[in-house]
Amino acid sequence: MEHVQRIGRTLKHHGTILDMYSDTISVPNGNVAYWDFIDHKGAAAVVPVLDDGRILLVRQYRNALDRETLEIPAGGFNGDEPAIDAAARELEEETGYCSSRLEHLISIATAVAFCNEIVDIYVATDLKKTQQHLDEDEYIDVEAYTQKEVADMIFSGKIQDSKTIAAVMAYIYRDGHINNSK
């Protein structure tokens, strides 16, 4: 492949969790292209697994889609917070459960064409019920589903959130097959 080179970057918007840029790119035929770029601060997410194998999902309104979605708990970092700490914090804030067993599952790049967001995803087991700690503008319902129910919702299109699909499928299939009994 011939060489593509970024020759300029202009900040268009500075936000709390992301910055938007216009990049100037030199392409192999000598032309100049302008590409959008979103610099994201990163995030952590967690697949919470109850003792009976069911997976906790959170139902919340998402403005970008103008509808409710079912997702795994996730959120951005507080400063230089380690990803595992952010995952544990989001788990308790959004679901009202905490875990002493968080294990790294996968890291995903959510939108490689225009954004550098990386989401570090963990599996939480040995869950203990505590209490949700929602922000004043958060309204989240917590729902438990079997692994098969979640997989069926993914394949039917009911769940479309990319981090949730990647995380749940990685968790369910990490041993090479789905556990239909759960």
Alpha carbon distance 123, 174 (integer Å):
12
Question: pTM of the predicted model, to two decimals?
Answer: 0.89
User: Is 175's pLDDT higher than 70?
Assistant: no
* Residue 4: Cβ-neighbour burial (10 angstroms; 0-12, 13-18, 19+): exposed
Q: Is the pLDDT confidence value at 182 over 50?
A: no
Tell me the average pLDDT across 58-86.
94
**Structure tokens of 165?**
């699909």
Q: What is the mean pLDDT of residues 110-127?
A: 96
Please check the confidence at residue 31 and state whether its pLDDT lies above 50: yes
Domains and their CATH numbers in the chain: 5-40 (no CATH), 43-173 (3.90.79.10)
Cα-based torsion angle of the residue sequence 95, 97, 103, 109 in order, rounded to the nearest 10 degrees: 10
- CA–CA separation, 148 and 172 (whole Å): 9
CB 72 within 8 A of CB 118: no
What mean pLDDT is predicted for residues 60-65? 92
Quick one: pLDDT band at residue 181, thresholds 50, 70, 90? very low
What DSSP character marks residue 90? H
SS3 157: coil
Token pair 């939480």 is found at: 124
Instruction: Using DSSP, state whether 91 is helix, strand or coil.
Output: helix
Residue 174 has pLDDT above 90, yes or no: no
pLDDT at 90 over 60: yes
Rounded CA-CA distance 115/108 in Å is 12
73 neighbors 46 (Cβ within 8 angstroms)? yes
* Cα separation, 151 vs 147, whole angstroms: 6
CB 151 within 8 A of CB 179: no
**In this prediction, what percent of the chain has a pLDDT beyond 90?**
83
Q: What pLDDT, on a 0 to 100 scale, did the predictor assign at position 176?
A: 63
- Chain segment 98-108, per-residue pLDDT in tens: 999 999 999 99
Q: Span 126-150, mean pLDDT?
A: 92
Catalytic residues: 136
Q: Taking the alpha carbons of 104, 147, 96, 133 in that order, is the dihedral positive or negative?
A: positive
